[in-house]
Structure 1
Amino acid sequence: MKVNIGTYSFGGIASYLGLGPTLLDKFKTIASLGFTGVELLPVDLDNDIEDIKKWLKETGLEVVSIHAEPTEEIVKKIAELGGKAVIWAGTPFCNKAEAVEVAHKLDEMAEMAEPYGIKIGYHNHSQEFFMDEGKTLLEHLLDNSTKCYSQLDCGWAQNGGCYPPSFIRRYKNRFVAIHVKENSKVQGPGPRPASRHAAEEAGHANPFANVKEMPLEERQKILDGFNAHMNSPEGKKQFEVQC
């Protein structure tokens, strides 16, 4: 088993928005910490692919995966960089029926990615452990997909009321990776998550989809809004669990 680290760890939401350290600076820090594998974010691919290859060679790192909606453009770039997986880092769905929709969509994405040698995975937060028709939404997703892998975020899973070792044993052949971080309490999955269709209609399905086209001022405004949420009573309750 290899222990890798994501560029998300160097700035969090700011990293998603392309704010903060450059990708090369992150690579240098990651290498200095003793890691050899890195998981990218979509904004990291705004850099020229040949530059990324050069920086990987300079720092002795390898790309293992990316947190991104699995489009063919993303899959091609990750394959060119030698990566093995594209992980969808969460999308709204509120019940079993919508979980099945997402499962089928992930299978279609996996079929598209197969010729490139890329696996497709799904990364959870707490809301995927909301119960509907006797199972969690994440169970409905995995039970109705034949090609999608899980990248279980153990911290969010435990926060949502799941005991990660039991979940891993149950779906032992379905993991492309796990995310490890410490959370300090179990809060449960919260209220029923938003419907994927409502989110799409409102244009909120992927708030980071067009980061490349956003001016820096707009990116900073999104970050300021997120930080304000984190400092609100609701945000503190949501994020104070992260050690």
Structure 2
Amino acid sequence: MLNTKKVKLGICPIGWTNDDMPDLGKENTFEQAVSEMALAGFKGTEVGNKYPKDVNVLKKALDIRNLQIASAWFSSFLTTKPYEETEKEFIDHRDFLHEMGAKVIVVSEQGHSIQGEMDTPIFDGKYYFNEEEWKLLADGLNKLGRLAEDKGMKIVYHHHMGTGVQTTDEIDKLMSMTDENLVYLLFDTGHLVYSGENPIAILNKYANRIKHVHLKDIRADVLEKVKKEKMSFLMGVRAGSFTVPGDGFIDFEPIFKILDENNYEGWILVEAEQDPAIANPFEYAMKARKYIKEKTGF
């Protein structure tokens, strides 16, 4: 299961060091993270804040470990700032990723987002876009999609807890309002399950538009605690709401099966933000790699 000629398997650096909460994993270096990724059997990574900004330096560090750059997160502010501000930053981001050989650019709208607010309850504090904001978002993403296309790349939209595109209805609305040839979808198991959505339904519905995958598992007891105690997204991360595939309660077998049946082509990345002092990054990378091998043969 999973076509090894079409699918590449990677892992994100957020398990080693957290860009949103720098004290988590502050002791872990870039070199340690990428070395352990390679040692665990992964072939790619997304870009973290500790990664060298110089293309040649980064390429050298990755090449000797046989790693590639899959993508990197980009924060858009299409609903709250003039489009031109987002475009300028996007072009720089696009050009860096293009030089690194990436084919997709992860985009997430951060206008009105509460994901980075330490004290705002993740379920009660969520913002809902009005129709004007939806139009700004859709039009802006179509424009960014064209800019990506100029370099032979694609944007993949990251639905995310605490943002205006989190729920099934919101994903459906975004997909219907954007050009299917310009705006694609990042499928993130953890964020869908966390929000209470059905990941299988989303996967089946948008199989042809999904061009990037994040595998994230959930600890059910911690998620219940987040809801009960009205915790923020970041507080939930600190408490251990996320973990690697095979360590939580999500069943990944049907997900792998549907991806395979739809001839998915692209990166599948383990992404599980945890406190590295509690969940040893290398140990959990190995655990994830073993689980994926068991379930897919890959």
TM > 0.5: yes
**Is the deviation greater in 43-52 or in 140-149?**
43-52
Task: Find out whether 1:71 has 2:84 as its counterpart.
Answer: no
Higher RCO (C-alpha under 8 Å, 6+ residues apart):
2
Q: Is the contact made by 1:126 and 1:156 (CA closer than 8 Å) also made in structure 2?
A: yes
Looking at structure 1, the residues matched to 50 and 57 of structure 2 have their Cα atoms a distance apart, in angstroms, of 11
Among 87, 104, 118, the alignment partner of 2:106 is 87
**Larger deviation, residues 12-21 vs 96-105:** 12-21
**Is 1:58 matched up with 2:64?**
yes
Asked if 2 retains the 8 angstrom alpha-carbon contact of 1:100 and 1:140, the reply is no
**Residue number in structure 2 paired with 1:140:** 173
1:153–1:108 CA distance, 2 compared to 1 (3 A): same
Change (3 A) 1:20 1:138: farther
SS of residue in 1 equivalent to 2:41:
coil
Identity across the alignment (%): 21
Unaligned runs of 5+ in 1: 191-231
- 2:208 is aligned to 173
Map of 1:9 onto structure 2: 15
Give the deviation of 1:20 after TM superposition: 4.2
Question: Could you tell me how far apart the structure 1 residues matched to 2:106 and 2:60 are?
Answer: 24
Q: Provide structure 2 residue ranges, at least 5 long, that are not aligned to the other structure.
A: 1-6, 76-88, 113-127, 244-298
In 1: Cα distance, 2:218 partner to 2:93 partner: 31
Distance 2:23 2:203 in 1: 28
In structure 2, the residue corresponding to 1:71 is in which secondary structure? helix
Q: How much has 1:17 moved relative to structure 2?
A: 9.9
Distance 1:82 1:158 in 2: 31
8 Å Cα contact 1:7-1:15 kept in structure 2? no
Amino acid at match of 2:231: E
Count of residue pairs the alignment pairs up: 195
Is 1:156 aligned to residue 191 of structure 2? yes
Q: Is the 8 A contact 1:99 1:137 kept in 2?
A: no
Shift of 1:63: 0.9
In the alignment, which of 46, 50, 60 is matched to residue 39 of structure 1? Answer: 46
- Give the Cα separation in 1 of the matches to 2:63 and 2:219: 38
In the TM superposition, residue 14 of structure 1 has moved relative to its aligned partner by 4.1
Measured after TM superposition, the shift of residue 110 of structure 1 is 1.1
Q: CA deviation at 1:92?
A: 3.4
Aligned-residue offset at 1:15: 5.8
Which protein is richer in helix relative to its size?
Answer: 1
Compute the displacement of 1:77 (Å): 0.8
RMSD of aligned C-alpha atoms? 2.8
Contact 2:190 2:215 in 1 (8 A): yes
